[in-house]
Amino acid sequence: MNAPSSTYGLSREARNLHWLLANLVEEVPGVRSVVVVSTDGLMLLSSDTRHHAVASDPAAQDGPKGSSADLATIVSGVGSLTLGAAKLMDGGSVKQTMVAMDEGSLFVMSISDGSLLGVHATPDCDMTVVAYHMALFVGRAGHVLTPELRNELRRSLEHAQ
C-alpha cells in the first residue's frame, strides 16, 4: 500500500503511523473510520483524508456525521468520561472502552502516552478482531508518539484543512 499524498514531507515515524492507521481501516473487516486523539483532545491522525465531510453529500458520510473531527470529539469525550469514572471507582487506568449501538460500535483504547485510539465500526464487526488490531496499533504507536511527533502530526492536519 502506498502512503497517501498527505504524508509527503513528514518524518518516517509520522508516515509509519499514517500507514498503520490506513492499514487498520483497510484490513480489519467492519472498521469504518479511525482517529488518534491527543491527551488534550486534539486530533493527531485520521483515516479520513477529507478531515471534514461536505454536508450536502450524504454519500461521502460514512463516519459519525461523516467527519473525523466528530469522531475525535466523541473519542475525547468518552475517554474523559471513563477516566473520571475509573477515578471515582478507584479502578486504576482505563485500557479500553466499547460502546455497542444498533447501527455501529465505538471502541476507545488508551495509548501509552495518554493519547487515545478511537474506532467506529459496523454493528456486525467481530469485536475481538477489532480490539486485537487496535492493541497491535497501540503497541506499535505508543513508543513513537513523542511530543515532537505529536506536534508534527498536529501541524500536518492543520495544513491539510
Domain limits, the chain = 17-50+62-160
Question: If we measure between CA atoms, which residue out of 157, 131, 134 comes closest to residue 23?
Answer: 134
Q: What is the pLDDT of residue 113?
A: 78
Q: What is the pTM of this model?
A: 0.84
- Look-up of cell digits 492493541: 135
Nearby residues of 30 by Cβ (< 8 Å), 6 or more positions away: 105, 121, 122, 124, 125, 126, 129, 130
Give the tens place of pLDDT for each residue, 15-53: 999 999 999 999 999 999 999 999 888 999 998 754 433
Per CATH, the number for 17-50+62-160 is 3.30.450.30
Query: What is the widest separation between alpha-carbon atoms in the chain?
Result: 46
